[in-house]
Structure 1
Protein backbone atom coordinates (compact mmCIF):
# COMPACT_ATOMS: atom_id res chain seq x y z
CA UNK A 1 0.00 0.00 0.00
CA UNK A 2 1.42 3.36 -1.04
CA UNK A 3 2.17 5.76 1.80
CA UNK A 4 -0.07 8.83 1.78
CA UNK A 5 1.57 12.24 1.65
CA UNK A 6 0.43 15.22 3.74
CA UNK A 7 2.48 17.66 1.63
CA UNK A 8 3.94 17.18 -1.84
CA UNK A 9 6.42 19.59 -3.43
CA UNK A 10 6.58 18.65 -7.09
CA UNK A 11 9.39 20.31 -9.04
CA UNK A 12 9.07 23.51 -7.01
CA UNK A 13 11.38 26.39 -7.91
CA UNK A 14 11.53 29.92 -6.50
CA UNK A 15 14.18 32.33 -7.80
CA UNK A 16 15.08 35.62 -6.16
CA UNK A 17 17.96 38.00 -6.81
CA UNK A 18 20.05 36.60 -3.95
CA UNK A 19 18.72 33.05 -3.55
CA UNK A 20 17.28 30.18 -5.56
CA UNK A 21 15.22 27.39 -4.03
CA UNK A 22 14.84 24.18 -5.95
CA UNK A 23 13.96 22.37 -7.94
CA UNK A 24 12.47 20.59 -4.91
CA UNK A 25 10.58 17.33 -5.23
CA UNK A 26 9.67 16.07 -1.78
CA UNK A 27 6.82 14.23 -0.09
CA UNK A 28 6.01 14.63 3.62
CA UNK A 29 4.41 11.37 4.84
CA UNK A 30 1.04 11.56 6.52
CA UNK A 31 0.80 10.42 10.14
CA UNK A 32 4.46 11.01 11.03
CA UNK A 33 6.81 13.73 12.28
CA UNK A 34 9.30 14.97 9.70
CA UNK A 35 12.16 17.29 10.65
CA UNK A 36 13.88 19.52 8.09
CA UNK A 37 17.46 20.34 9.04
CA UNK A 38 20.20 22.34 7.34
CA UNK A 39 22.38 25.44 7.63
CA UNK A 40 20.79 28.86 8.03
CA UNK A 41 19.63 30.31 4.73
CA UNK A 42 18.96 26.90 3.18
CA UNK A 43 15.33 27.65 2.33
CA UNK A 44 13.65 25.77 5.18
CA UNK A 45 11.28 28.57 6.21
CA UNK A 46 10.53 29.30 2.55
CA UNK A 47 9.23 25.74 2.15
CA UNK A 48 6.90 26.32 5.10
CA UNK A 49 5.57 29.57 3.66
CA UNK A 50 5.06 28.03 0.25
CA UNK A 51 3.12 25.13 1.80
CA UNK A 52 0.73 27.76 3.19
CA UNK A 53 0.68 29.77 -0.06
CA UNK A 54 2.21 32.72 1.81
CA UNK A 55 5.03 32.65 -0.73
CA UNK A 56 4.53 31.42 -4.27
CA UNK A 57 6.87 29.28 -6.37
CA UNK A 58 7.84 30.36 -9.87
CA UNK A 59 7.46 26.81 -11.11
CA UNK A 60 6.10 23.54 -9.78
CA UNK A 61 3.08 22.36 -7.87
CA UNK A 62 2.36 22.08 -4.14
CA UNK A 63 -0.32 19.79 -2.76
CA UNK A 64 -1.37 19.98 0.91
CA UNK A 65 -3.73 17.44 2.49
CA UNK A 66 -4.66 16.22 -0.96
CA UNK A 67 -5.48 19.65 -2.35
CA UNK A 68 -3.49 22.05 -4.51
CA UNK A 69 -2.96 25.39 -2.79
CA UNK A 70 -4.26 28.58 -4.39
CA UNK A 71 -7.77 27.43 -5.24
CA UNK A 72 -11.15 28.72 -4.09
CA UNK A 73 -11.21 26.31 -1.17
CA UNK A 74 -7.80 27.28 0.19
CA UNK A 75 -9.33 28.67 3.41
CA UNK A 76 -10.90 25.26 4.07
CA UNK A 77 -7.51 23.58 3.72
CA UNK A 78 -5.90 26.10 6.07
CA UNK A 79 -8.55 25.41 8.70
CA UNK A 80 -7.04 21.93 8.92
CA UNK A 81 -3.50 23.29 9.47
CA UNK A 82 -1.72 24.73 12.50
CA UNK A 83 1.28 26.99 11.95
CA UNK A 84 3.92 28.27 14.35
CA UNK A 85 6.02 30.81 12.44
CA UNK A 86 9.74 31.28 13.02
CA UNK A 87 9.24 34.60 14.79
CA UNK A 88 6.43 36.78 16.19
CA UNK A 89 4.35 39.05 14.00
CA UNK A 90 5.06 42.71 14.79
CA UNK A 91 1.49 43.68 13.92
CA UNK A 92 0.32 41.68 16.95
CA UNK A 93 2.45 43.61 19.46
CA UNK A 94 -0.33 45.92 20.65
CA UNK A 95 -2.92 43.17 20.95
CA UNK A 96 -3.73 41.50 24.24
CA UNK A 97 -3.04 37.80 23.93
CA UNK A 98 -6.64 36.89 24.78
CA UNK A 99 -7.89 39.19 21.98
CA UNK A 100 -5.64 37.48 19.47
CA UNK A 101 -6.93 34.11 20.65
CA UNK A 102 -10.54 35.29 20.21
CA UNK A 103 -9.79 36.52 16.68
CA UNK A 104 -7.89 33.33 15.90
CA UNK A 105 -10.71 31.08 17.12
CA UNK A 106 -13.18 32.57 14.63
CA UNK A 107 -11.18 31.18 11.71
CA UNK A 108 -11.26 27.58 12.94
CA UNK A 109 -14.56 25.67 13.31
CA UNK A 110 -12.73 22.99 15.31
CA UNK A 111 -11.34 25.52 17.83
CA UNK A 112 -11.54 24.05 21.33
CA UNK A 113 -11.53 26.75 24.02
CA UNK A 114 -11.19 24.13 26.76
CA UNK A 115 -8.11 22.70 25.05
CA UNK A 116 -6.72 26.23 24.67
CA UNK A 117 -7.17 26.98 28.37
CA UNK A 118 -5.68 23.61 29.28
CA UNK A 119 -2.59 24.35 27.17
CA UNK A 120 -2.16 27.79 28.74
CA UNK A 121 -2.25 26.09 32.16
CA UNK A 122 0.17 23.32 31.15
CA UNK A 123 2.58 25.81 29.59
CA UNK A 124 2.28 28.35 32.41
CA UNK A 125 1.01 31.21 30.24
CA UNK A 126 -1.36 34.08 31.05
CA UNK A 127 -3.13 35.59 28.03
CA UNK A 128 -4.25 38.66 29.97
CA UNK A 129 -1.41 40.90 28.79
CA UNK A 130 -0.23 42.64 25.66
CA UNK A 131 1.88 40.58 23.32
CA UNK A 132 4.68 43.17 23.38
CA UNK A 133 4.96 42.78 27.16
CA UNK A 134 5.51 39.04 27.00
CA UNK A 135 9.01 37.60 27.23
CA UNK A 136 10.26 35.77 24.13
CA UNK A 137 9.68 32.40 25.77
CA UNK A 138 6.22 33.31 27.09
CA UNK A 139 5.11 34.59 23.71
CA UNK A 140 6.46 31.45 22.05
CA UNK A 141 4.44 29.25 24.38
CA UNK A 142 1.30 31.30 23.72
CA UNK A 143 1.76 31.07 19.93
CA UNK A 144 2.33 27.33 20.26
CA UNK A 145 -0.93 26.96 22.20
CA UNK A 146 -2.76 28.88 19.46
CA UNK A 147 -1.33 26.68 16.73
CA UNK A 148 -2.50 23.44 18.28
CA UNK A 149 -5.78 24.35 20.03
CA UNK A 150 -7.97 23.52 17.02
CA UNK A 151 -6.38 20.05 16.81
CA UNK A 152 -5.13 20.48 13.24
CA UNK A 153 -4.49 17.52 10.98
CA UNK A 154 -1.21 19.08 9.88
CA UNK A 155 1.05 21.07 12.20
CA UNK A 156 3.87 23.21 10.77
CA UNK A 157 6.46 24.19 13.38
CA UNK A 158 9.27 26.56 12.37
CA UNK A 159 11.91 26.50 15.14
CA UNK A 160 9.25 25.64 17.76
CA UNK A 161 11.51 25.72 20.82
CA UNK A 162 13.17 29.06 20.07
CA UNK A 163 13.37 31.02 23.34
CA UNK A 164 12.08 28.20 25.55
CA UNK A 165 13.79 27.23 28.79
CA UNK A 166 14.54 23.51 29.39
CA UNK A 167 11.39 22.92 31.45
CA UNK A 168 9.13 24.57 28.85
CA UNK A 169 10.92 22.62 26.13
CA UNK A 170 10.20 19.29 27.84
CA UNK A 171 6.57 20.32 28.29
CA UNK A 172 6.30 21.15 24.59
CA UNK A 173 7.74 17.73 23.70
CA UNK A 174 5.13 16.05 25.93
CA UNK A 175 2.32 18.07 24.34
CA UNK A 176 3.45 17.09 20.86
CA UNK A 177 3.62 13.41 21.81
CA UNK A 178 0.06 13.64 23.11
CA UNK A 179 -1.01 15.43 19.93
CA UNK A 180 0.42 12.65 17.74
CA UNK A 181 -1.15 10.05 20.02
CA UNK A 182 -4.59 11.16 18.84
CA UNK A 183 -3.91 9.53 15.48
CA UNK A 184 -4.33 11.01 12.02
CA UNK A 185 -1.88 13.85 12.72
CA UNK A 186 1.21 15.01 10.84
CA UNK A 187 3.99 17.36 11.92
CA UNK A 188 6.55 19.09 9.71
CA UNK A 189 9.17 20.90 11.76
CA UNK A 190 12.34 22.91 11.25
CA UNK A 191 14.71 22.78 14.19
CA UNK A 192 18.35 23.29 15.25
CA UNK A 193 17.92 21.19 18.41
CA UNK A 194 19.43 17.74 17.90
CA UNK A 195 17.63 16.28 20.91
CA UNK A 196 14.35 17.57 19.48
CA UNK A 197 15.00 15.60 16.30
CA UNK A 198 15.94 12.48 18.25
CA UNK A 199 12.90 12.61 20.52
CA UNK A 200 10.29 13.60 17.96
CA UNK A 201 11.19 12.95 14.34
CA UNK A 202 10.31 9.83 12.38
CA UNK A 203 11.92 11.19 9.20
CA UNK A 204 14.75 13.66 8.59
CA UNK A 205 15.18 15.82 5.49
CA UNK A 206 18.56 17.46 4.83
CA UNK A 207 18.54 20.71 2.88
CA UNK A 208 21.33 23.08 1.86
CA UNK A 209 21.59 26.00 -0.57
CA UNK A 210 17.97 25.63 -1.62
CA UNK A 211 18.23 21.94 -2.43
CA UNK A 212 17.09 18.72 -0.79
CA UNK A 213 20.11 16.48 -0.16
CA UNK A 214 18.08 13.50 1.02
CA UNK A 215 15.24 12.20 3.16
CA UNK A 216 15.78 9.37 5.64
CA UNK A 217 13.98 7.36 8.28
CA UNK A 218 15.55 8.53 11.53
CA UNK A 219 16.50 5.24 13.17
CA UNK A 220 17.92 3.91 9.90
CA UNK A 221 19.93 7.10 9.43
CA UNK A 222 21.54 7.02 12.87
CA UNK A 223 22.12 3.27 12.54
CA UNK A 224 24.02 3.65 9.28
CA UNK A 225 26.34 6.62 9.84
CA UNK A 226 29.50 5.80 11.79
CA UNK A 227 33.17 6.67 12.00
CA UNK A 228 35.31 3.52 11.91
CA UNK A 229 38.90 3.43 13.14
CA UNK A 230 40.63 0.82 10.99
CA UNK A 231 44.09 -0.60 10.50
CA UNK A 232 45.78 -3.19 8.36
CA UNK A 233 49.12 -4.16 6.93
CA UNK A 234 50.04 -1.75 4.12
CA UNK A 235 46.55 -0.23 4.25
CA UNK A 236 46.20 2.85 2.02
CA UNK A 237 43.57 5.54 1.34
CA UNK A 238 43.24 4.15 -2.16
CA UNK A 239 42.23 0.76 -0.78
CA UNK A 240 39.79 2.33 1.67
CA UNK A 241 38.17 4.30 -1.14
CA UNK A 242 36.41 1.01 -2.01
CA UNK A 243 34.79 0.77 1.45
CA UNK A 244 30.95 0.84 1.11
CA UNK A 245 29.42 4.23 1.91
CA UNK A 246 32.83 5.84 2.34
CA UNK A 247 32.69 9.64 2.44
CA UNK A 248 35.81 10.64 4.35
CA UNK A 249 39.26 9.15 5.03
CA UNK A 250 41.85 10.54 7.43
CA UNK A 251 45.17 9.01 8.43
CA UNK A 252 45.67 8.70 12.19
CA UNK A 253 48.88 6.67 12.25
CA UNK A 254 50.96 4.18 10.32
CA UNK A 255 48.49 2.05 8.34
CA UNK A 256 45.68 3.36 10.57
CA UNK A 257 42.78 5.50 9.41
CA UNK A 258 39.57 7.12 10.49
CA UNK A 259 36.83 6.46 7.92
CA UNK A 260 33.32 7.93 7.79
CA UNK A 261 30.64 5.77 6.20
CA UNK A 262 26.92 5.96 5.60
CA UNK A 263 26.65 2.17 5.27
CA UNK A 264 28.09 0.92 8.52
CA UNK A 265 27.00 -2.72 8.34
CA UNK A 266 28.20 -3.14 4.76
CA UNK A 267 31.45 -1.37 5.62
CA UNK A 268 32.14 -3.63 8.59
CA UNK A 269 31.48 -6.74 6.52
CA UNK A 270 33.80 -5.41 3.80
CA UNK A 271 36.54 -4.89 6.39
CA UNK A 272 36.08 -8.42 7.71
CA UNK A 273 36.33 -9.95 4.25
CA UNK A 274 39.44 -7.89 3.45
CA UNK A 275 41.28 -8.59 6.68
CA UNK A 276 41.06 -5.00 7.91
CA UNK A 277 40.81 -4.64 11.68
CA UNK A 278 38.26 -2.25 13.22
CA UNK A 279 39.60 -0.97 16.53
CA UNK A 280 36.59 1.19 17.43
CA UNK A 281 33.32 2.60 16.14
CA UNK A 282 31.71 5.96 16.82
CA UNK A 283 28.15 6.90 15.88
CA UNK A 284 27.86 10.25 14.11
CA UNK A 285 25.75 13.08 15.47
CA UNK A 286 23.29 14.88 13.24
CA UNK A 287 25.58 17.80 12.40
CA UNK A 288 28.34 15.38 11.38
CA UNK A 289 25.94 13.47 9.13
CA UNK A 290 24.82 16.73 7.54
CA UNK A 291 28.45 17.77 7.05
CA UNK A 292 29.14 14.45 5.32
CA UNK A 293 26.17 15.03 3.01
CA UNK A 294 27.44 18.48 2.14
CA UNK A 295 30.87 17.08 1.41
CA UNK A 296 29.43 14.36 -0.82
CA UNK A 297 27.28 16.89 -2.65
CA UNK A 298 30.21 19.15 -3.43
CA UNK A 299 29.14 21.83 -0.96
CA UNK A 300 32.31 21.61 1.08
CA UNK A 301 32.49 25.36 1.67
CA UNK A 302 29.35 25.04 3.80
CA UNK A 303 30.61 22.13 5.91
CA UNK A 304 32.12 24.34 8.63
CA UNK A 305 28.72 25.98 9.11
CA UNK A 306 27.24 22.71 10.35
CA UNK A 307 29.70 22.44 13.22
CA UNK A 308 27.77 23.49 16.29
CA UNK A 309 24.64 23.95 14.18
CA UNK A 310 22.71 21.83 16.65
CA UNK A 311 22.75 22.49 20.37
Structure 2
Protein backbone atom coordinates (compact mmCIF):
# COMPACT_ATOMS: atom_id res chain seq x y z
CA UNK A 1 0.00 0.00 0.00
CA UNK A 2 1.39 3.39 -0.99
CA UNK A 3 2.33 5.83 1.74
CA UNK A 4 0.92 8.68 -0.34
CA UNK A 5 -2.73 9.59 0.06
CA UNK A 6 -2.44 12.14 -2.77
CA UNK A 7 0.00 11.93 -5.64
CA UNK A 8 -0.05 13.95 -8.86
CA UNK A 9 1.87 13.27 -12.05
CA UNK A 10 2.67 16.25 -14.29
CA UNK A 11 -0.67 17.86 -13.39
CA UNK A 12 -1.24 20.80 -15.72
CA UNK A 13 -4.07 23.28 -16.26
CA UNK A 14 -4.17 25.81 -19.09
CA UNK A 15 -6.76 28.44 -19.84
CA UNK A 16 -6.07 29.23 -23.47
CA UNK A 17 -2.45 30.33 -23.62
CA UNK A 18 -2.31 31.01 -19.87
CA UNK A 19 -0.77 28.24 -17.75
CA UNK A 20 -2.32 28.17 -14.29
CA UNK A 21 -0.62 24.97 -13.07
CA UNK A 22 2.41 23.46 -14.79
CA UNK A 23 3.57 19.82 -14.52
CA UNK A 24 2.81 19.64 -10.80
CA UNK A 25 4.05 16.62 -8.84
CA UNK A 26 2.99 16.66 -5.19
CA UNK A 27 3.09 13.84 -2.66
CA UNK A 28 0.86 14.01 0.43
CA UNK A 29 1.82 11.42 3.03
CA UNK A 30 -0.69 9.48 5.10
CA UNK A 31 -1.46 10.91 8.55
CA UNK A 32 0.36 14.21 8.00
CA UNK A 33 -0.49 17.83 7.29
CA UNK A 34 0.78 19.06 3.94
CA UNK A 35 0.93 22.83 3.50
CA UNK A 36 0.65 24.10 -0.08
CA UNK A 37 2.21 27.52 0.18
CA UNK A 38 2.12 30.33 -2.36
CA UNK A 39 0.97 33.83 -3.13
CA UNK A 40 -2.61 34.53 -4.15
CA UNK A 41 -2.90 33.48 -7.78
CA UNK A 42 -0.04 30.97 -7.57
CA UNK A 43 -2.28 28.06 -8.59
CA UNK A 44 -3.22 26.60 -5.19
CA UNK A 45 -7.01 26.68 -5.62
CA UNK A 46 -6.83 25.40 -9.20
CA UNK A 47 -4.72 22.48 -7.96
CA UNK A 48 -7.23 21.60 -5.25
CA UNK A 49 -10.14 21.84 -7.66
CA UNK A 50 -8.39 19.39 -10.00
CA UNK A 51 -7.76 17.00 -7.09
CA UNK A 52 -11.50 16.90 -6.43
CA UNK A 53 -12.64 16.72 -10.04
CA UNK A 54 -14.19 20.18 -9.91
CA UNK A 55 -11.85 21.31 -12.71
CA UNK A 56 -10.60 18.98 -15.40
CA UNK A 57 -6.82 19.04 -15.89
CA UNK A 58 -5.44 19.86 -19.31
CA UNK A 59 -2.98 17.00 -18.84
CA UNK A 60 -1.50 14.89 -16.10
CA UNK A 61 -2.97 12.51 -13.53
CA UNK A 62 -4.25 12.50 -9.96
CA UNK A 63 -4.01 9.45 -7.69
CA UNK A 64 -5.82 9.36 -4.35
CA UNK A 65 -5.47 6.49 -1.88
CA UNK A 66 -3.26 4.81 -4.48
CA UNK A 67 -5.97 4.77 -7.18
CA UNK A 68 -6.44 6.98 -10.26
CA UNK A 69 -9.07 9.58 -9.45
CA UNK A 70 -10.63 9.48 -12.91
CA UNK A 71 -12.91 6.47 -13.09
CA UNK A 72 -12.98 5.98 -9.30
CA UNK A 73 -14.77 9.18 -8.27
CA UNK A 74 -17.76 7.47 -6.67
CA UNK A 75 -15.52 5.34 -4.47
CA UNK A 76 -13.00 8.05 -3.56
CA UNK A 77 -15.08 11.18 -2.98
CA UNK A 78 -17.00 9.79 0.06
CA UNK A 79 -13.60 9.36 1.75
CA UNK A 80 -12.74 13.05 1.24
CA UNK A 81 -13.91 16.20 3.01
CA UNK A 82 -13.21 19.59 1.48
CA UNK A 83 -13.45 23.31 1.94
CA UNK A 84 -12.70 25.00 -1.37
CA UNK A 85 -15.22 27.83 -1.42
CA UNK A 86 -17.57 29.08 1.27
CA UNK A 87 -20.55 26.69 1.45
CA UNK A 88 -23.97 28.13 0.68
CA UNK A 89 -25.35 28.16 4.20
CA UNK A 90 -28.80 29.65 4.74
CA UNK A 91 -28.48 32.84 6.83
CA UNK A 92 -31.90 32.45 8.46
CA UNK A 93 -31.21 28.92 9.73
CA UNK A 94 -29.16 27.69 12.67
CA UNK A 95 -25.95 25.70 12.33
CA UNK A 96 -27.77 22.46 13.15
CA UNK A 97 -30.51 23.18 10.61
CA UNK A 98 -27.98 23.98 7.91
CA UNK A 99 -25.99 20.81 8.52
CA UNK A 100 -29.21 18.76 8.56
CA UNK A 101 -29.94 19.86 4.99
CA UNK A 102 -26.47 18.81 3.84
CA UNK A 103 -26.71 15.54 5.78
CA UNK A 104 -29.96 14.66 4.00
CA UNK A 105 -28.39 15.47 0.62
CA UNK A 106 -25.50 13.12 1.47
CA UNK A 107 -27.74 10.37 2.76
CA UNK A 108 -26.47 10.65 6.35
CA UNK A 109 -29.44 9.47 8.44
CA UNK A 110 -27.97 9.43 11.94
CA UNK A 111 -28.19 12.83 13.73
CA UNK A 112 -25.00 11.95 15.59
CA UNK A 113 -23.12 12.94 12.43
CA UNK A 114 -24.31 16.52 12.90
CA UNK A 115 -23.85 16.58 16.66
CA UNK A 116 -20.36 15.10 16.45
CA UNK A 117 -19.24 17.51 13.72
CA UNK A 118 -20.40 20.55 15.70
CA UNK A 119 -18.75 19.30 18.87
CA UNK A 120 -15.49 18.82 16.96
CA UNK A 121 -15.39 22.50 16.03
CA UNK A 122 -16.72 23.70 19.40
CA UNK A 123 -20.10 24.87 18.13
CA UNK A 124 -23.28 24.08 20.10
CA UNK A 125 -25.78 21.48 18.87
CA UNK A 126 -29.37 22.69 18.42
CA UNK A 127 -28.42 26.23 19.33
CA UNK A 128 -30.95 28.99 18.50
CA UNK A 129 -28.36 31.36 17.04
CA UNK A 130 -28.81 31.95 13.31
CA UNK A 131 -25.97 31.63 10.82
CA UNK A 132 -26.35 35.34 9.97
CA UNK A 133 -25.45 36.16 13.58
CA UNK A 134 -22.22 34.16 13.50
CA UNK A 135 -18.79 35.77 13.59
CA UNK A 136 -16.42 35.06 10.71
CA UNK A 137 -14.54 32.57 12.86
CA UNK A 138 -17.75 30.70 13.74
CA UNK A 139 -18.76 30.62 10.07
CA UNK A 140 -15.39 29.15 9.15
CA UNK A 141 -15.68 26.53 11.89
CA UNK A 142 -19.13 25.58 10.61
CA UNK A 143 -17.70 25.20 7.10
CA UNK A 144 -15.06 22.84 8.51
CA UNK A 145 -17.79 20.96 10.43
CA UNK A 146 -19.52 20.39 7.10
CA UNK A 147 -16.26 19.09 5.63
CA UNK A 148 -15.75 16.56 8.46
CA UNK A 149 -19.38 15.62 9.10
CA UNK A 150 -19.13 12.28 7.25
CA UNK A 151 -15.83 11.43 9.04
CA UNK A 152 -13.57 11.47 5.96
CA UNK A 153 -10.04 10.09 5.92
CA UNK A 154 -8.69 12.99 3.86
CA UNK A 155 -9.35 16.71 4.22
CA UNK A 156 -8.60 19.25 1.48
CA UNK A 157 -8.85 22.78 2.88
CA UNK A 158 -8.28 25.87 0.76
CA UNK A 159 -7.23 28.90 2.84
CA UNK A 160 -9.30 27.86 5.92
CA UNK A 161 -7.81 30.68 8.05
CA UNK A 162 -8.19 33.43 5.46
CA UNK A 163 -9.89 36.51 6.90
CA UNK A 164 -9.90 35.32 10.50
CA UNK A 165 -8.72 37.40 13.44
CA UNK A 166 -5.74 36.11 15.49
CA UNK A 167 -7.99 34.29 17.97
CA UNK A 168 -9.95 32.64 15.17
CA UNK A 169 -6.73 31.63 13.41
CA UNK A 170 -5.38 30.02 16.58
CA UNK A 171 -8.66 28.12 17.14
CA UNK A 172 -8.80 26.75 13.61
CA UNK A 173 -5.08 25.92 13.65
CA UNK A 174 -5.40 23.94 16.89
CA UNK A 175 -8.47 22.14 15.59
CA UNK A 176 -6.77 21.12 12.33
CA UNK A 177 -3.70 19.90 14.22
CA UNK A 178 -5.93 17.85 16.54
CA UNK A 179 -7.73 16.28 13.57
CA UNK A 180 -4.38 14.99 12.33
CA UNK A 181 -2.75 14.04 15.63
CA UNK A 182 -5.73 12.65 17.56
CA UNK A 183 -7.95 11.37 14.75
CA UNK A 184 -5.38 10.32 12.17
CA UNK A 185 -6.70 12.49 9.34
CA UNK A 186 -4.52 13.31 6.36
CA UNK A 187 -4.84 17.02 5.58
CA UNK A 188 -3.88 19.12 2.58
CA UNK A 189 -4.13 22.79 3.44
CA UNK A 190 -3.32 25.78 1.24
CA UNK A 191 -2.33 29.19 2.52
CA UNK A 192 -0.51 32.37 1.63
CA UNK A 193 0.23 32.98 5.33
CA UNK A 194 3.80 31.77 5.85
CA UNK A 195 3.82 32.02 9.62
CA UNK A 196 0.75 29.81 9.95
CA UNK A 197 2.07 27.11 7.63
CA UNK A 198 5.30 27.04 9.64
CA UNK A 199 3.28 26.44 12.83
CA UNK A 200 0.91 23.87 11.36
CA UNK A 201 2.36 21.77 8.56
CA UNK A 202 4.51 18.65 8.67
CA UNK A 203 5.40 18.90 4.98
CA UNK A 204 5.47 21.91 2.69
CA UNK A 205 5.12 22.42 -1.05
CA UNK A 206 6.01 25.87 -2.34
CA UNK A 207 4.19 26.84 -5.53
CA UNK A 208 4.88 29.96 -7.60
CA UNK A 209 3.26 30.85 -10.92
CA UNK A 210 1.83 27.35 -11.12
CA UNK A 211 5.18 25.60 -10.67
CA UNK A 212 6.21 23.57 -7.63
CA UNK A 213 9.58 24.94 -6.52
CA UNK A 214 10.16 22.89 -3.37
CA UNK A 215 8.57 19.91 -1.65
CA UNK A 216 10.07 18.79 1.64
CA UNK A 217 9.31 18.26 5.28
CA UNK A 218 9.19 21.43 7.32
CA UNK A 219 12.20 20.15 9.27
CA UNK A 220 14.22 19.79 6.05
CA UNK A 221 13.23 23.29 4.94
CA UNK A 222 14.28 24.73 8.29
CA UNK A 223 17.67 23.06 7.93
CA UNK A 224 18.09 24.83 4.59
CA UNK A 225 17.53 28.22 6.17
CA UNK A 226 20.73 30.22 6.21
CA UNK A 227 22.40 30.74 9.57
CA UNK A 228 24.94 33.50 10.02
CA UNK A 229 26.57 35.82 12.54
CA UNK A 230 25.77 39.47 11.93
CA UNK A 231 28.37 42.02 12.98
CA UNK A 232 27.88 45.76 12.84
CA UNK A 233 31.36 47.26 13.28
CA UNK A 234 33.18 50.55 12.72
CA UNK A 235 35.60 49.03 10.17
CA UNK A 236 34.07 46.08 8.35
CA UNK A 237 36.96 45.66 5.91
CA UNK A 238 39.47 45.46 8.75
CA UNK A 239 37.23 42.98 10.59
CA UNK A 240 37.11 40.84 7.46
CA UNK A 241 40.90 40.75 7.32
CA UNK A 242 41.00 39.53 10.93
CA UNK A 243 38.52 36.75 10.14
CA UNK A 244 40.60 35.67 7.16
CA UNK A 245 44.00 35.77 8.89
CA UNK A 246 43.27 34.86 12.48
CA UNK A 247 40.28 32.56 12.05
CA UNK A 248 41.12 31.21 8.56
CA UNK A 249 37.67 31.76 7.07
CA UNK A 250 36.57 33.44 3.85
CA UNK A 251 32.92 32.53 4.25
CA UNK A 252 31.58 36.03 4.90
CA UNK A 253 29.92 38.91 3.11
CA UNK A 254 30.34 42.68 3.53
CA UNK A 255 27.35 44.99 3.11
CA UNK A 256 26.43 48.63 3.60
CA UNK A 257 29.81 49.74 4.90
CA UNK A 258 29.51 48.63 8.52
CA UNK A 259 27.78 45.26 8.25
CA UNK A 260 29.56 41.93 8.02
CA UNK A 261 27.75 38.59 7.65
CA UNK A 262 29.77 35.55 8.69
CA UNK A 263 28.44 32.14 7.59
CA UNK A 264 30.89 30.04 9.62
CA UNK A 265 28.51 29.90 12.58
CA UNK A 266 30.78 27.47 14.48
CA UNK A 267 33.32 30.25 15.04
CA UNK A 268 33.06 31.66 18.60
CA UNK A 269 31.31 35.03 18.64
CA UNK A 270 33.04 36.05 21.89
CA UNK A 271 36.53 35.37 20.47
CA UNK A 272 35.72 37.21 17.25
CA UNK A 273 34.38 40.21 19.12
CA UNK A 274 37.42 40.27 21.40
CA UNK A 275 39.77 40.18 18.39
CA UNK A 276 37.94 43.08 16.76
CA UNK A 277 38.05 45.22 19.92
CA UNK A 278 41.77 44.50 20.47
CA UNK A 279 42.37 45.70 16.90
CA UNK A 280 40.61 48.99 17.67
CA UNK A 281 37.35 48.12 15.92
CA UNK A 282 34.14 49.26 17.62
CA UNK A 283 31.48 46.52 17.72
CA UNK A 284 27.92 47.85 17.83
CA UNK A 285 26.18 44.55 17.17
CA UNK A 286 27.05 40.84 17.18
CA UNK A 287 24.44 38.10 17.15
CA UNK A 288 23.55 34.77 15.56
CA UNK A 289 20.74 34.98 13.00
CA UNK A 290 18.63 32.42 11.15
CA UNK A 291 16.44 33.01 8.11
CA UNK A 292 12.70 32.55 8.46
CA UNK A 293 10.45 30.59 6.10
CA UNK A 294 9.62 33.94 4.51
CA UNK A 295 13.30 34.65 3.87
CA UNK A 296 13.61 31.24 2.22
CA UNK A 297 10.48 31.84 0.15
CA UNK A 298 11.89 35.15 -1.10
CA UNK A 299 15.19 33.52 -1.97
CA UNK A 300 13.80 30.68 -4.08
CA UNK A 301 11.09 32.73 -5.81
CA UNK A 302 13.41 35.66 -6.44
CA UNK A 303 10.74 38.09 -5.34
CA UNK A 304 8.84 39.64 -2.50
CA UNK A 305 7.63 37.62 0.42
CA UNK A 306 3.99 36.99 1.24
CA UNK A 307 2.05 37.97 4.33
Query: With structure 1 as the length reference, what TM-score do the two structures score?
Result: 0.75
Q: CA RMSD in A?
A: 3.4
Equivalent in the alignment of 1:45: 45
Q: 1:160 to 1:68 in 2, by over 3 A?
A: same
**Aligned residue-pair number:** 275
Q: For 1:81-120, list aligned pairs within 5 A.
A: 81-85=80-84, 87-89=85-87, 91-93=88-90, 96=93, 97-106=95-104, 107=106, 112-119=113-120
Residue aligning to 2:154: 154
CA distance in 2, matches of 1:192, 1:127: 34
Computing the radius of gyration over CA atoms, which structure comes out larger, 1 or 2? Answer: 2
Q: Which SS does the other structure have where 2:26 is aligned?
A: strand
CA contact (8 A) 1:127 1:142 kept: no
Supply the distance in 2 between the matched residues of 1:250 and 1:100 (Cα, whole angstroms).
61
* Contact 2:118–2:125 (CA under 8 A) maintained in structure 1: no
Distance of aligned partners of 1:8 and 1:170 in 2 relative to their CA distance in 1, 3 Å threshold:
same
- Contact 1:5–1:28, Cα closer than 8 Å, also in 2: yes
**SS of residue paired to 1:293:** helix
Give the counterpart of 1:233 among 241, 251, 258. Answer: 241
How far residue 234 of structure 1 moved from its aligned partner, in angstroms, is 9.3
State the Cα deviation string for residues 187-208 of structure 1 (Å, max 9, x = none): 1111233342232211111110
Q: Does residue 189 of structure 1 match 2:182?
A: no
Q: Return the TM-score normalized by structure 2.
A: 0.76
Instruction: Tell me whether 1:253 sits opposite 2:235 in the alignment.
Output: no
Contact 1:7-1:62 at 8 Å conserved across structures = yes
Counterpart of 1:210? Answer: 210
Counterparts of 1:3 and 1:252 in 2: how far apart (Å)? 52
